[in-house]
Structure 1
Amino acid sequence: MAPRVLVSDELSETAVQIFRDRGVEVDYLPKLGKDKEKLAELISQYDGLAIRSATKVTEKLLESATNLKVVGRAGIGVDNVDIPAASKKGVIVMNTPFGNSITTAEHAIAMMFAVARQIPEANASTHAGKWEKSRFMGVELFNKTLGVIGAGNIGGIVCNRAVGLHMKVVAYDPFLSDERAKQLGVTKVELDELLHRADFITLHVPLTDKTRNILSKDNLAKTKKGVRIINCARGGLVDEVALLEALNSGQVAAAALDVFEVEPATESPLFGHANVVCTPHLGASTTEAQENVALQVAEQMSDYLLTGAVQNALNMPSVTAEEAAVMGPWLKLAAHLGAFIGQMTDEPIKALNILYDGTVAGMNLAALNSAVIAGVMKAANPDVNLVSAPIVAKERGIQVSTTRQDKTGTFDAYIKVTMVTDKRERSVAGTCFSDGKPRFIQIKGINIDAEIGAHMLYTTNDDVPGIIGLLGMTMGKNGVNIANFTLGRSGVGQDAIAILYLDQAIDPKVLETLESTGMFQSVKALQFDVA
Structure 2
Amino acid sequence: MAPKVLISDKLSDAAVQIFRDRGIDVDFQPDLGKDKDKLAEVIGQYDGLAIRSATRVTEKILDAATNLKVIGRAGIGTDNIDKEAASKKGVIVMNTPFGNMITTAEHAIAMMFAVARQIPEASASTHAGKWEKSKFMGVELTNKTLGVIGAGNIGGIVCDRARGLKMKVIAYDPFLSQEKADKIGVEKVELDALLARAEFITLHVPLTDQTRNILSAENLAKTRKGVRIINCARGGLVDEATLAEMLKSGHVAGAGFDVFAQEPATENPLFGLPNVVCTPHLGAATSEAQENVALQVAEQMSNYLLTGAVENALNMPSVTAEEAKVMGPWIKLSDHLGGFIGQMTDEPIKAINILYDGTASTLNHEALNCSVVAGIMKKVNPEVNMVSAPVVARERGIQISTTSQDKSGAFDGYVKVTVVTSKRERSIAGTVFSDGKPRFIQIKGINIDAEVGRHMLYTTNEDVPGIIGALGNTMGANGVNIANFTLGRNTAGGEAIALLYVDEPVPAEARAKLAETGLFNQIKPLEFDVA
Q: Report the counterpart of residue 92 of structure 2 in structure 1.
A: 92
What is the deviation of 1:360? 1.2
With the length of structure 1 as denominator, give the TM-score of the two structures: 0.98
> Which AA in structure 2 matches 1:198?
A
Cα distance in structure 1, aligned partners of 2:47 and 2:449: 44
Give the whole-Å Cα distance in 2 for the aligned partners of 1:118 and 1:464: 65
Name 1:39's counterpart in structure 2.
Answer: 39
Q: Amino acid of the residue matched to residue 276 of structure 1?
A: V
Q: Structure 2: where are the runs of 5+ without partners?
A: none
Q: Distance in 2 between matches of 1:518 and 1:144?
A: 48
1:256 corresponds in structure 2 to: 256
Instruction: Tell me the equivalent position of 2:199.
Output: 199
In structure 2, C-alpha distance between the alignment counterparts of 1:221 and 1:39, rounded to whole Å: 48
2:417 maps to 417
Report 1:288-307 matches (<5 A): 288-307=288-307
Distance in 2 between residues matched to 1:14 and 1:432, nearest whole Å: 45
> Partner residue of 2:311?
311
2:230 matches 1:269? no
Cα distance between partner residues in 1 of 2:365 and 2:272: 55
Structure 1 stretches of 4+ with a deviation exceeding 4 A read none
Q: Tell me if 1:152 matches 2:159.
A: no
**Once the two structures are superposed, what CA deviation does each residue of 1:93-118 show, in whole Å capped at 9, x if it has no partner?**
11101100100000011111111111
**Does 2:383 align with 1:383?**
yes
Give the C-alpha shift of residue 471 in structure 1.
Answer: 1.9
Partner of 2:161: 161
1:390 deviates by: 1.2
- Which residue does the alignment assign to 1:447? 447
Equivalent residue runs for 1:274-293 within 5 Å: 274-293=274-293
In structure 1, the partner of 2:114 is 114
State the Cα distance separating 1:85 from its structure 2 match: 1.7
1:517 aligns with 2:517: yes
Q: How does 1:350-369 map to 2 (within 5 A)?
A: 350-369=350-369
Question: 2:501 maps to what in 1?
Answer: 501
TM-score between both structures, scaled by the size of structure 2: 0.98
- In structure 2, relative to structure 1, the CA distance for the partners of 1:249 and 1:511 (3 Å cut) is farther
Structure 1: unaligned runs, 5 residues or longer? none
Residue-by-residue CA offset, 1:305-328 (whole Å, 9 max, x unaligned):
111111111111111222111111
Partner in structure 2 of residue 481 of structure 1: 481
Structure 2 counterparts to residues 122-161 of structure 1, below 5 A: 122-161=122-161
1:212 CA drift (Å): 0.6
SS at match of 1:521: strand
SS at match of 1:479: coil
* CA shift for structure 1 position 398: 0.9
Deviation (angstroms), 1:5: 1.5
Partner Cα separation in structure 1 for residue 11 and residue 58 of structure 2: 21
Matched to 2:272, the amino acid is G
Amino acid corresponding to residue 8 of structure 1 in structure 2 = S
CA-to-partner distance for each residue in 1:387-413, whole Å, 9 max, x for gaps?
A: 111111111111111111110001111
Letter in structure 1 aligned against 2:232: C
Match of 2:60 in 1: 60
Cα separation, 2, equivalents of 1:130 and 1:513: 66
Q: What SS is found at the alignment partner of 2:520?
A: coil
Report the alpha carbon displacement of residue 520 of structure 1 after superposing the two structures with TM. 2.0
Q: In structure 1, how many angstroms separate the alpha carbons of the residues matched to 2:79 and 2:221?
A: 33
How big is the shift at 1:419?
Answer: 0.3
Alpha-carbon distance in 2 for matches of 1:132, 1:518: 67
Corresponding position of 1:19: 19
Per-residue displacement from partner, 1:198-249 (whole Å, max 9, x unpaired)?
A: 1111111111111110000110111111111101111000011111222223
The reply to whether residue 322 of structure 1 matches residue 322 of structure 2 is yes
Cα shift at 1:511: 2.3
Following superposition, the deviation at residue 125 of structure 1 comes to: 1.6
2: distance between equivalents of 1:229 and 1:523? Answer: 36
Q: One-letter code of the match for 1:315? A: N
Cα deviation, residue 465, structure 1: 2.1
Give the length in aligned residue pairs. 531
Structure 2 CA distance for aligned equivalents of residues 205 and 172 of structure 1: 10
Which amino acid in the other structure matches residue 241 of structure 1? Answer: A
Could you tell me whether the CA contact under 8 Å between 2:310 and 2:320 is conserved in 1? no
Instruction: Provide the secondary structure at the position in 2 that maps to 1:61.
Output: helix
Deviation at 1:510, TM superposition (A): 2.6
Q: Aligned partners of 2:334 and 2:433: how far apart in 1?
A: 14
Whole-angstrom CA distance in 2 between matches of 1:124 and 1:84: 47
Deviation at 1:119, TM superposition (A): 1.1
Contact 2:208–2:380 (CA<8 Å) still a contact in 1?
yes
User: CA separation in 2, counterparts of 1:516 and 1:289?
Assistant: 54
Distance 2:459 2:242 in 1: 36
- 1:140-175 deviation digits (Å, cap 9, x = unpaired): 111111111111111111111011111111111111
Deviation at 1:514, TM superposition (A): 2.5
Give the CA deviation at 1:463: 1.7
Pairwise CA distance, 1:459: 1.1
Task: Name the SS for the 1:514 alignment partner.
Answer: helix
User: Could you tell which deviates more after superposition, 405-414 or 121-130?
Assistant: 121-130
Compare 242-251 and 255-264 and name the one that shifted more.
242-251
Matched letter for residue 400 of structure 1: I
**Partner letter of residue 2 of structure 1?**
A
The letter for the 2-side match of 1:503 is D
1:443: how far off?
Answer: 0.6
Residue 75 (structure 2) aligns with? 75
Whichever residue aligns with residue 302 of structure 1, its letter is S
Q: CA offset at residue 518 of structure 1?
A: 3.0
> Residue 217 of structure 1 aligns with which residue?
217
1:429 aligns with 2:433: no
Deviation at 1:63, TM superposition (A): 2.5
Aligned partner of residue 384 in structure 1, secondary structure: coil
2-side partners of 1:165 and 1:259: how far apart?
Answer: 24
Query: Which residue in 1 is equivalent to 2:246?
Result: 246
